[in-house]
Amino acid sequence: MDTNENAKKSRLDTKCIALIGLMAAVTCILGPLSIPLPTSPVPISLTNFAIYLAIYVLGTRRGTLSYLIYLLIGFVGVPVFAAFTAGPQKLLGPTGGYLIGFIPMALICGIFIDKCVLNGITEVRIIHGKGTGVLRSVVTEELRHHPNIDEFRLGKYGEGEDGVTIAKLK
């Protein structure tokens, strides 16, 4: 009976590894697709969508792991970043902060919301700033797919306006 239980556990582990690899591949396919902006070196990319799809499908930790695999693939030279670029120079350039910043942002946002639900908090304010709107769109995607979010909106006058997202928890 121990052999059967071990076999079931290894099948689950194999399935998880395969799903992590699959979501890393989806990110590699969607990541290079981008729309260049004339006013910024940072393009609009489908990477955000791919990351949050991975987190939605796999959960926070495994989704983040699939994103780390994507970063490593791009780091070694496979052109999977926006506009089919790659290499360490891309991670050290103007868009590198965004690529690396997605890692803690995904983890922090998921953990923060889970802790608020456990503590009975019904509303949270996520301050992402106004800037270019990239971080706001990443936060919006995370909230849209998070199972503990009932609804969310941008802040009103006096609440931080479009530099803040207010989310109501289930």
Pair of tokens at residue 96: 């590198």
Angle between helices 96-118 and 60-75 (to 10 degrees): 170
pLDDT, one tens digit per residue, over 79-128 is: 998 888 999 998 888 778 878 887 887 777 667 767 777 888 888 888 87
State which H helix or E strand residue 146 sits in. Answer: none
What separation in angstroms does the CA of 71 have from each of 31, 38, 42, 121? 10, 25, 17, 34
Segments in the chain below pLDDT 70:
1-12, 109-110, 113
Kindly report the CA angle at 10 between 9 and 14, in degrees rounded to 5? Answer: 120
